[in-house]
Structures are given as C-alpha cells and as structure tokens.
Amino acid sequence: MKKSYLKIVSKAVLIGFFGMFIVSCEGEDGVNGIDGQAGVDGVSGENGINGANGANGVGFEELTKYGAVTLNISGTRSDDVDFTHAGELKFTHNESGNNDVEFNDPNVNYSVVRFVNSPDSHDNSSVRLNLTVNDAGLSTQNFGFFVNFNGYSIISDDLKYFEISAGYADSNTSVSNFSITEYSFDEMTNNLKYTFTMTVAGANNITGNDMIISGTVDVIVLESLGRRPR
C-alpha cells in the first residue's frame, strides 16, 4: 500500500518538474510579419438627390411679369475676331415709356425697355425698342423702328468684351436689310409680338465692321390713361 502511494507521489513530482522545465525552455517571440496588402476600396455610393431650387427674390415677379426681349448680335470685333451673342432681357419697371402702347388712329406706337438685370438705376445695361405701326390693319400698313442700346456689353469666350451705347433707326443710311416680321397685337391681353432684323454698317458701330442685330419681342404693354386734369 505504501509502495503504491509513493509511486503516485513520485509521478506527480516528476510531472511537475517536467512542466517547469518546458516553460523555462520557451523561446522569445519572433519578429512581426510584413503587413498584408490593403484591400480594394468599396464601390462609391450613388449621389443624393439635388435639392429644390430656391425661391425667387422679393420683387422678381413684379419685374419680369411683362415678358422679355431676346437679342442676337453677330459680326466681327475691332480685333478682327468673329463673334456671336445671344441674350434675353426680361426685367423692367413701370416708369412711363418703358412698357407702353399708344393709339393714334390709324397708327400705333409701342415703347419697350428691358434690362439685363434688376433695374436699380437708369445706368443698367438695357435696350429700348420703339416700334411704330403706320396704318395699322390696313393694306398700306408699314413699320418704323428704332433700337437704342444703353451700356450693353458683348462678352466673348476669350474674356474680351466691348460695349454698345448707340441707337439705330430703320431710316438711318447706315442701316440696311431691315425688316419686321410676325407682328401681332392682342387687344384683349395687350400681348405684343414681333421679330426684327437689321444690318448696321461698320462705319457706324463700335466694331468698325458690319454688325447684324436681330431679336424677338414677346411682351405685355400698358396703355396710359394720361394725367388727371387739375
């Protein structure tokens, strides 16, 4: 009995010593391995939906509700570079003569002014169009026309510009190829429509070369009741 007990104790002691020997014989940690290559980036997510357009500023509706004038101007600049220009002028204010129709039977006179931007002064870039319809509605109907530019800038893609501040009438000797087409006037809505074109000789415009001016008018004009007698 004692022998068996001693054998068991001896084995236990031997196992303990053997375990301590193994632990004491463990080596130091090795050098860390090289980092692996970075993974491929994930697919980009879809763009979000564009936000809604902001509301027009205060007064925008009042300044644009009477329609617009579209201009097309082409020619050769003073530095001999060809140019073409297209612009829409839709701003106006209700000063007398800026958006008027006047009936002088059998003639009708229209005076329309449109600005490139909100007209906060008389110096803003603008164009005035005066159209006279002689013998309106009769077989002898004919037109008189005058266009006046006030500080109107023509800007090209090469970042060069010139400014037109001049007026041209169909009766001027410097004006040729003048025509008024698609003229109409709705007496119920006061909607005036027409297109015009003219060529201005180089000697009479800032470019020094022939310049073609054309445009489309689609506006609402107002009829003045005149001043109240005192």
| Total number of domains in the chain | 1
Range 124-127 contact pairs with CB under 8 angstroms and sequence separation of 24 or more: 124/150, 124/151, 125/150, 125/151, 125/152, 125/153, 126/89, 126/150, 126/151, 126/152, 127/69, 127/71, 127/89, 127/152
Domain presence at residue 41: no
Q: What is the pLDDT of residue 64?
A: 85
Which tens digit of pLDDT belongs to each residue from 131-183? 999 999 999 999 999 999 999 999 999 999 999 999 999 999 999 999 999 99
Domain presence at residue 229: no
Domain presence at residue 21: no
Q: Within the chain, where are the H helices?
A: 2-24, 60-64
Domain presence at residue 50: no
pLDDT band, residue 229 (cuts 50/70/90): very low
Which tens digit of pLDDT belongs to each residue from 51-64? 555 455 545 576 78
Whether residue 118 is predicted with pLDDT greater than 90 in this model: the reply is no
Domain presence at residue 89: yes
Pick the more confident residue, 132 or 28: 132
Domain presence at residue 7: no
- For the chain, percent of residues with pLDDT exceeding 90: 60
Query: What is the span of the domain harbouring residue 130?
Result: 60-223
Predicted model pTM: 0.71
Distance in angstroms (rounded) separating the CA atoms of residues 74 and 59: 33
Domain presence at residue 178: yes
On whether the CB atoms of residues 92 and 63 are closer than 8 A, the answer is yes
Domain presence at residue 103: yes
Distance in angstroms (rounded) separating the CA atoms of residues 89 and 116: 5
Distance in angstroms (rounded) separating the CA atoms of residues 195 and 213: 11
Whether residue 230 is predicted with pLDDT greater than 70 in this model: the reply is no
Which tens digit of pLDDT belongs to each residue from 89-110? 998 876 777 899 999 999 999 9
